[in-house]
Amino acid sequence: MLDRTLPPPFVKSTSFQLPHFSKVKLPNEVSLLHLNNLQQKLVKIEVVFNAGKWFEPKPEVSHFTLQMIDKGTRSMSSKQIAELFDRYGAHIELSGNLDFVSVSLYSLSKHLSKLYPIFLELITAPSFEANELTILKDHFIQNLRVKSEKTSYLASKEIRKNLFGSAHPYGQSAEETDVAKIQTSDLLSYFNERMKPSFVFVLGKIESKDFEILKETISSIDIGNIVTPHYSIINEGNNSDYIEKKGSVQTSIRLGKRMIQRGHPDYAGVLILNYYLGGYFGSRLMKNLREEKGLTYGISSSVNALKNDSILLIGTDINKENRVLATDEIIKEIKLLQTFIDAEDLELAKRHFIGSLQGEIASPFSILGKIKNIELFNLPENYYQELIQKTDSVSVEHLSNLAKRYFDENDFLAVAVG
């Protein structure tokens, strides 16, 4: 009989197998990938554009161009588009970040032939109506005013500006004056120049005739020669900045530095070192600042890998009077990585990291996310399997050497707002 008073034995697994997917290069050089592992008769079509913040000629043009995609076309108003997709239980998703933007269609497979022509019109011929842009701008400014009252937003904004410079896409932040200047002509010009498909990801069951129509229509889009801009990084801040916000009882602390990118041989070691430091609930920073000293409810450290750079950010919110103590304790933990890493804590961090990564392929949609990362960042197909194996085998000694190289406390910029 099973003894339920005993926990099940721990089974260590380092496997990470992505399912098979098909990939073709269309005549216009757009990559089309299809992952067919949905049991339901559902399909997702995601079109990705190299049109994120990195490519915009003036602040927030990329954001508003994307948000206007489903606000009307030459043949349909925004109301008609919304009603059509509601009628068929379909959904349009607009996603944007610093490097890419994407437009996705979610639909039952049986309705795709009715909806895809409208979806194609959205990504090739949006109307950019002035009244729709006015509504979006007003909404954006209201949200910006609310966010600008929060110390967490202000601290994150300041640390990025200090790391890259206010004119750099990764350091630039939205300002009301920038939003006010945006006109429909800016969006139309940006759309015509930048909104050319780079990748198309298809998830789920799609009829062969619908798939052929998809390939034919995407192939017919003139991609042209899209030039990728380059930017200079200008450090605009001191090593430590404190911005007082009157009336605030909370202070938001951010420490950051530029970090190596995904393709670097040391990247796996840096990831697990960061995870041990502040990447999960059992991390060193959580134990020190939350459990031992009670300075915060939570603190995190993350490596944000971008297309053209990478950032390590540490962030927490604390009471105003504990600002100096909390910052000192964070620096202490960073310095400690160079001289002492607890082997048991490291093993726990490894297990948690590997388990979390394996858990990220629990659904077809998250699997597609991993495939997208491999394609968008030009990674080898076995990237995640190798990442797990490298993480599992890395030693304390090796991590201490990496800490000396990449976690020098003098390389971090610190910002506090509150």
List, run by run, the mean pLDDT of 10-residue segments along the chain (418 residues).
75 83 95 92 96 94 97 94 96 96 97 97 96 97 96 96 94 94 96 95 96 97 85 81 92 97 96 98 97 97 96 97 97 97 96 93 92 96 95 96 97 96
- Please provide the CATH number assigned to the domain covering 22-219: 3.30.830.10
**Superfamily of 240-417 according to CATH:** Metalloenzyme, LuxS/M16 peptidase-like (3.30.830.10)
Rounded to whole angstroms, the Cα distance separating 188 from 128 reads 7
Residue 268 CB neighbours (<10 A): 20
In 249-353, at which residue ranges do the beta strands (DSSP E only) sit? 250-258, 299-305, 310-319
The predicted structure's pLDDT at residue 3: 79
Are the C-beta atoms of residues 47 and 195 closer than 8 Å to each other? Answer: no
CA distances (Å), origin 372, targets 30, 83, 136, 221, 291? 14, 30, 29, 21, 38
Q: Do domains 22-219 and 240-417 have the same CATH topology?
A: yes
The predicted structure's pLDDT at residue 10: 66
Are the C-beta atoms of residues 269 and 399 closer than 8 Å to each other? Answer: yes
How would you list the strands of the sheet with 413-417, edge to edge? Answer: 240-243, 413-417, 250-258, 310-319, 299-305
Torsion sign over Cα 165, 169, 175, 179: positive
Domain boundaries, the chain: 22-219, 240-417
Question: What is the DSSP pairing of strand 240-243 with strand 413-417?
Answer: parallel
Which of helix, strand or coil describes residue 398?
A: helix
Residues, the chain: 418
- Say what the pTM is: 0.92
Rounded to whole angstroms, the Cα distance separating 54 from 358 reads 31
